[in-house]
């Protein structure tokens, strides 16, 4: 964390504040879950999710590959048939 102490105040970025809030929620309540795209990407959401999947596990932090493929189709012109193929052939893991 890059917190700077100025007097009695701690100065952190907005992304760090959001990440701290998410982590605090996870720590307080084991029924807290996060469904998001790009969870494992440290730059995703300006770093607000950095390391959260490692800290709280993939049973509580769940990647959304369908949303990711839809974004590629809509924003980057990916062929929908290719997106479906990529989803169907992705490595298997526990699904919720």
Q: How far apart are CA 87 and CA 75, in angstroms?
A: 17
Is the pLDDT score of 96 beyond 60? no
Q: What residues does each domain of the chain span?
A: 4-89
Q: pTM for this one? A: 0.60
b (16+ CB within 10 A) / e for 40-69: eeeeebeebbbebbeebeeebbebeeeebb
CATH fold of 4-89 reads: Rossmann fold (3.40.50)
Interval 14-71: pLDDT, tens: 988 998 999 999 999 999 998 877 777 767 777 788 888 888 988 888 888 888 888 8
Q: What is the pLDDT of residue 64?
A: 81
Q: What is the pLDDT of residue 66?
A: 85
Interval 72-81: pLDDT, tens: 899 999 999 9
Residue reference for tokens 């730059």: 43
- State the SS3 of the chain: CCCEEECCEEECCHHHHHHHHHHHHHHHCCCCCEEECCCCCCCHHHHCCCCHHHHHCCCCEEECHHHHHHHHHHHHCCCHHHHHHHHHHCCCCCCC
């Amino acid at each position: 964390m890059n917190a700077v102490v100025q007097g009695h105040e701690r100065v952190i970025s907005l992304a760090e504040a959001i990440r701290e809030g998410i982590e605090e929620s996870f720590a307080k309540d084991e029924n807290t879950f996060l469904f998001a795209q790009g969870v494992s990407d440290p730059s995703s959401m300006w770093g607000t999710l950095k390391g959260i999947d490692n800290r709280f596990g993939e049973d509580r932090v769940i990647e959304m590959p369908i949303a990711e493929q839809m974004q590629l189709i809509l924003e980057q012109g990916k062929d929908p048939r290719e997106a479906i193929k990529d989803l169907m052939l992705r490595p298997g893991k526990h699904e919720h």
